[in-house]
Structure 1
């Protein structure tokens, strides 16, 4: 019994589609290859060259010319702070594909302008917003865990353990993200990097003020000596006091922040309400030559009002 040629063609098409999507999955979503633990084990096993291994452990972000672009230039650093192991280039490729697919599929149904706005949201606004949300959560968790990590290091140093041992103890006993960052520091030291440089790499990677204080403390103690345990205890107390001050500031400024949110959302609520109650309210004057300039001016002032209110109710502490 011979198989018909069309069934062979269908089977070949099915295999081609499966292989295509499997290649896409391995290219963009191979979690095992990009897992931090896998990278550290590969680096420490001797399978990579020294410079390549140290680059994987440090995860320093390259600064090519395109990083000067607003928002996009900050994306690699924010992805490193968020703990995302996927390459920024892959994110850009995936975002471009998402924008193209959204524009291609949406333009026949809603028109090119609306489809273009949807494409920008799907391919740019949503990924950047997701990265920022993950980054803020991870950095906030790291900041909250850092005083406990310093206290644990202080207790280890007080009983006579070396600094490297206390760092590994923090990596073993603390949850992520402190465990991941301290383990990466310990791996750098084991692979031949100096302790002050490893901590400075972590400080640049997380880019928060408390880690820079920790890096400065370790470098001072490494160069001049002194009681590092007492220094870490003082730094832990300072960080906790800063958190208490932040909570007080948030409590005092809560009324102003709520007022800013309501005032910023009020024009959009009025616009949607007008469209629902009187759909012809704006379309009846759409042919007037001043209609679009006035819309642009209103949008400009609304966005400016929101940015100014945000600056007024957000305090740097």
Structure 2
């Protein structure tokens, strides 16, 4: 006689997974491959997800760290969704490369806002994580010294801008909404005349995914975040889950990485995915849990996303 499986209720966060910027970036690589054939070169991971990257590699994409690894063979070069410093397209033009910029349009808006503030003579505080590709790209829009990176609340308390400079701030698009609010409050207290950005820099997808996690965290004995360890928005989801009341929160890259025993003793768990993780990986996790548990699922939806971004113009096939 087969032993009865223990019951497990799974809360599925909505929205979760791919955002419009990630979807657009992947489609740019796929369309370049369709039009021009392999290889298509991609500077850095197009998005922070190995499943996505390896899938594109199988189609003929070649991922490189820098442009000097790309031969002069006339094939397209794609810049990742995180954005690049101005020096990168400048170098591509100098070599007469055919390049496609897959920078998320919401990241590009941050770049243009930074340029406008700089043109008005303001020094920018950039709230973000050192070394993240998006931060490197944003800082690379302005001359060196035009921005001060602020990584956390302590850095906000210590930051020393140029003496007498008019100030403003902007942010990486994938930050914790709550952490960023704390940092901004500190900057406002220290610098009462600091100019406000014209709009929120943290993107809608980051905000929505964090709100969905908050909505299910307090009901969850465990929250599983599907995402890569180098994905900023995925790491933030795990942190948000813990702060919002989940007894425990973990990250996995896909179902094969999950030991279902982690949910032993749990009655209800939450599952979500970072903006660069495809839905197929969420379903892998659910299927993996179903091997050990008798599962039921419930959608916890806080927003419905219908955002789409237009593709950039592409060269006609010769």
Q: If the length of structure 1 is used for normalisation, what is the TM-score?
A: 0.25
Q: Which has the higher contact order (CA 8 A, sep 6+)?
A: 2
Structure number with the higher strand fraction is 2
More helix by share: 1
Larger radius of gyration: 1
TM-score of the pair, normalised by structure 2: 0.25
